[in-house]
Every structure is written in C-alpha cells, then in structure tokens.
Structure 1
Amino acid sequence: MTGRRLLLVHAHPDDESLMTGGTIAHYLAQCAQVMVVTCTLGEEGEVIGDTWAQLVADGGADQLGGYRILELTRALAALGPDAHGDVLTPRFLGGAGRWRDSGMAGSPSARNPRAFVNAPLAEPVEALAEIIGEFRPQVVVGYDPAGSYGHPDHRRVHDICARAIDVAATTPEDRWRVDKHYYAVTEATALAKGLASVDELHPQWRMPADGELPSYPDAQVTTEIDISEVYDRKVAALRAHATQVTVAATDDDRRPTSYVLSNNIVQPIFDREHFILVRPEPVAGVREDDLFAGLDL
C-alpha cells in the first residue's frame, strides 16, 4: 500500500462527524486513504424528536443501533469519496454489534455484560491491532484520557488505541508501526470564539455554562486542520445523524455555525479541528497544520 493512510477510532456513530468530520472530509478531498472505525452501535443514545423515539433501548424497541448504522453510512457518504472514488463505508470494531454502547457511568446499561466497557481489554485491543495491521495507517486518531467529555466508551477508546498501536508493531505475522498518534480535542480559544458567534438561539436551546464544554488550553494543542473548504460536508454529515444532532437553521445563505445534542446545549461548528500529538513527542512551540507533517511518504 502506498500514499497517506489515516485511521480514526470513535466510540459511537456521530462521534466521527462531531469531532473529526471536517478532518475526514479534508483528507478524502486530498485523496488520502481514510478509515473510520466505530466501536459500538450507539444503542443507548437519546433520540431527538418523535419520529424514531420508540427505537430507544430503555422501554422501547431497542432497535436504535441498527438505525444509527444507517445514519453513519449517510454521514460518511456526505464527507466525500475516498482515494479511489468510492464512498467511505462504516467499519465496526470486531464487526457490527460485537460490543454494545455502555451508556453513562453508573447507568444500568453500563452493567450489561455486552457493554464495551465490560469487554476484557485484550479483546478490543487485539481487534484494533488487526485493523492496524491490515490498513497500515501512518496516523491514528483517538481520544484523550478523559474521553473528551467523560463517557465510559470514549475512555475505553483511549485505553485501547495506544495498546493496539504497540501490539500491531510487535505482531510477527502482520507487523506495522504507526508513525503518529493523536487525540482529537477542542481548543479553548476556538470554543470561545465559536460560542461568541452564535447570534440566534432556539427557544428551547441554551448556552453552555462556564466550563460545561470540555476544551484544552491553546498551548497544549499541537495541530490545527483548516476545514473551511469542506465545511459544508461536515454540516451535511452532522445532519445525517438526525436522531442525535440538530443543526441550527438559518434564514438566509449563511452557513449554520452551531448545533445541539439531546441536552439542547449549544455547541459551535468549527471551521478548524484540533488535535494533540502524543506519539512521537511534539516539537515545542510548533503547531502543525497537517496530521502527516514530518513524515517521509
């Protein structure tokens, strides 16, 4: 395999669009090979609106996971074709349905034996290492130790990524060494500017309280990807996840700049996405504008 290969590991359908949708579209537009691995079907998500409300796990049909496969398929298609002109399609860790959405910490769903957090750690690590050995990415993107906002499945993604990278590098039959490992994060200044740009608020929506949305100090962010040229693709991908995301409507030709989840807390849609390089050690004082920066490909 030749060329740039980027692997992004996410916990649930919609995380790929919320956290890295612009980056996925950016590199697809540059003809890089991109793979998005999703670890659960998002069965425990809270559904927005009445149309699909009865699909939920708690007191409903428990069919939400299957519907979210469709939403993920539509979102990835919206982000653009891959290097060969084919539409990006979902890839689930261990196969679709192998592990179940754990829900929030302390909830009944977190005690489900099939919950992602209850899997012996070696199993998802091995499954991800196999994908790394197959796809051979130079760059892997996952989550920070807090799992962004603390969801147990996000934390588990953090737990498995570094371990899987190490396993893939030492597996004799299909050895592959990943060059760079990143956390997808939110930059504090970008968050503040994004919230300041929100000029219209739906009556049921509210602005976040100070510190309610997670972010990192600017100095800790190592990498910034300009996604302004693929911004519309990211918006389309967010809209594809209609059971989970509501994109702000606009009355004119302006691009929407915000969205809410089921909690109705406004969040900005960024025209730049941010990352922290964790392997290898970042160069102090240097902010990258490319996840493949410094690689001899």
Structure 2
Amino acid sequence: MLLVHAHPDDETIGTGATMAKYVDAGAHVALVTCTLGEEGEILLEEHAHRAADRDDSLGEHRRIELADAMTALGVTDHRQLGGDGRYRDSGMMGLPDNDDPTCFWQADLLTAASDLVAVIREVRPQVLVTYDDFGGYGHPDHIQAHRVAMYGAMLAAAPSFRPDLGEAWDIAKIYWTAFPKSIVRAGIEALRASGETTGFAAMDPDDMPFACDDALVTTTIDAEDWLDRKMAAMAAHATQISLEDGFFALSNNLGSRAFGREYFRLVKGQTGPLDESGHETDLFAGI
C-alpha cells in the first residue's frame, strides 16, 4: 500500500490507524510526504522561533516528528517526494506563500508526478491512498497531492512513459480519504454534551469542507485496536496537534469511533464484500 500525503501529520490524522493495522497484517506500507510543512502553525511556544518568518526551521523539526510518528505506527518506508526539501509547503490558499516558485503549489505537475512514478514502480503497490480532488478541505498542497497521485498513477502504468524510471506498474485499487458528516456531527454533539459551546463545537458539519457526504463513502476500516498507536503518532506531531482542544478534542469524546475507524472512497477497482452498512472493510479486498 502506498499513501501520498501533503504534510507531516496528515498521514496520521486521516489514515494512521489503517497504516498500523496493515503493517501488523504483514503488508508493505509506504508513505510519500510531499512537503515538510514549513508554513505550519506552531502550537508550542518553545518552537515558535522555527516559524517561516523567523528561523524558518520548522520543516527540519517536522521531519523528526514524522519519523517519530512512523515509529509509533510501525511504518519503516517513508520518504519525501523528490527527496528532502524538494517541494516547499505552500501555505493556505490565497496567501503570498502560494506564489513562491519553490512551493508545491507552483511545482510543474509532470515533474512532480514523475518523481512519484519512480516510487510507484519501485514499490509496486496494489493500493494507493490519497485525497479527493478538493484535497479534503481546499489546501493547495492537498489539492496538488491529489493531482500528483492521480497523474503519477496513470503515468506509472504506461510502458512507454519514462522507462528509465522502472518497469510499468498499474495500481489495482485507488482510494480517496473521507470523513463522513455523520461522524463529524456525532462528535460535535458529544462536545456540546460535555459543555463545549465554542470553536469546533459551535460548527455545522454541512459548512465543513472536509466533511464528506455519507453516501460517497465506500469503505470503512475498523482499526480501533490500533487507536493507541494512532494517538501516539498524533502526539509525536506536537507542534501541529493538540489532543485537548478543537477538532482533536473528539479523541476524548468519540476516540474509538472518530479516530479508530477510518473512511475511504474507492475510485478505481472493484469493491470487495460489503458489511451490513454497505461498505467494504478491506482495502485489499478483491485483489
């Protein structure tokens, strides 16, 4: 299985439990991270000096956080697209950072996809996981990661494209990550029941771009037994994730349901056997 994510921590938030589960099942789980997340918001005061407008050393630190998170999940094959520091974090949509010629948003699509083709043909995954066409919530790097993953998968399957990058490989199943609105709504209700009234608790799932219509979800991976590993990996991304506030406060309310089950949309390949909810339960089903 090959996962293509935009920044360190994205892999753990959306797919960490799934990654740990398949590692323990004996699958080769490989992660490609497209940037080092240099423009990320820093939650810890002791690392404030690493900000892009100060020391600009956050990316170096997030590389360490990513390595620690992968240790928690048991993933030994994790790499940066095109090598360390090839593509810089683009920042949120509409900011001046988007215009930086070194940022991922400005990367030539064929060049970046070719970097991924080399990985696909080396790893030869049966399953590819990335974001939907909106990148989940509209971040430039997430959108670009989707484009690179989908274009890279197509190019990797073409024998006449760049044979110098390895033998052609056609990925059997491709998934986009998903977060069903019903789960988000249940989380908001749980936060409100615990006394929270502001921030995430005050939001409406219908107004959240990352919340996916339940009808689009094809696959549920029940990895509740690996939730502790996922939480440890999330904690490793300490400059980016607080498990006490905002969205991630769900871990204290709906931990197993909100974070131990992960959801996907199959966009290439055939679904496997379906459970009572109408979802397949194994990314490798039918292969």
Instruction: Place the TM-score, normalised by the shorter chain, in its bin.
Output: 0.7 to 0.9
CA contact (8 A) 2:128 2:174 kept: yes
Range that drifts further, 201-210 or 133-142:
201-210
Structure 2 counterpart SS, 1:197: helix
Percent same amino acid among aligned pairs?
41
CA shift in 2, pair 1:292/1:131, >3 Å: same
Output the amino acid matched with 1:227: A
- Counterpart among 167, 178, 186 of residue 171 in structure 2: 178
- Counterpart among 16, 19, 34 of residue 14 in structure 2: 19
- Counterpart among 264, 288, 295 of residue 280 in structure 2: 288
Structure 2, unmatched stretches of 5+, are 246-250
Question: What pairs with 1:240-251 in structure 2 (closer than 5 Å)?
Answer: 240-248=236-244
Q: Which residue of 2 aligns with 1:129?
A: 117
Task: Supply the distance in 2 between the matched residues of 1:271 and 1:94 (Cα, whole angstroms).
Answer: 31
Structure 1 counterpart SS, 2:201: coil
CA shift in 2, pair 1:284/1:119, >3 Å: same
Q: Which residue of 2 aligns with 1:189?
A: 182
Task: Supply the distance in 2 between the matched residues of 1:204 and 1:62 (Cα, whole angstroms).
Answer: 32
Task: Supply the distance in 1 between the matched residues of 2:211 and 2:146 (Cα, whole angstroms).
Answer: 17
- Counterpart among 200, 211, 218 of residue 214 in structure 2: 218
Task: Supply the distance in 2 between the matched residues of 1:276 and 1:103 (Cα, whole angstroms).
Answer: 26
TM-score (norm 1): 0.85
Task: Supply the distance in 1 between the matched residues of 2:212 and 2:200 (Cα, whole angstroms).
Answer: 22
Query: How many equivalent pairs are there?
Result: 270
Task: Supply the distance in 2 between the matched residues of 1:186 and 1:22 (Cα, whole angstroms).
Answer: 14
Question: What pairs with 1:102-251 in structure 2 (closer than 5 Å)?
Answer: 102-171=90-159, 172=163, 173-198=166-191, 200=194, 206-210=200-204, 211-213=206-208, 214-248=210-244
- Aligned-pair CA distance for 1:202: 7.7
Greater fraction of residues in helix:
2
- Aligned-pair CA distance for 1:197: 2.8
- Aligned-pair CA distance for 1:294: 0.9
CA shift in 2, pair 1:43/1:201, >3 Å: farther
Output the amino acid matched with 1:280: G
Listed one character per residue, the Cα deviations across residues 43-85 of structure 1 (whole Å, up to 9, x for unaligned) are 0001002110110102x100000000000001111112x5xxx
CA contact (8 A) 1:142 1:182 kept: yes
CA RMSD of aligned residues (A): 2.3
TM-score (norm 2): 0.88
Output the amino acid matched with 2:184: L
- Counterpart among 20, 27, 30 of residue 35 in structure 1: 30
Output the amino acid matched with 1:114: T
- Aligned-pair CA distance for 1:163: 1.1
Structure 1, unmatched stretches of 5+, are 1-5, 83-87, 250-254, 260-267
- Aligned-pair CA distance for 1:200: 4.3
Question: Is the counterpart of residue 278 in structure 1 residue 267 in structure 2?
Answer: yes
Range that drifts further, 284-293 or 97-106:
284-293
Structure 1 counterpart SS, 2:286: coil
- Counterpart among 64, 72, 93 of residue 70 in structure 1: 64
- Counterpart among 10, 15, 19 of residue 5 in structure 2: 10
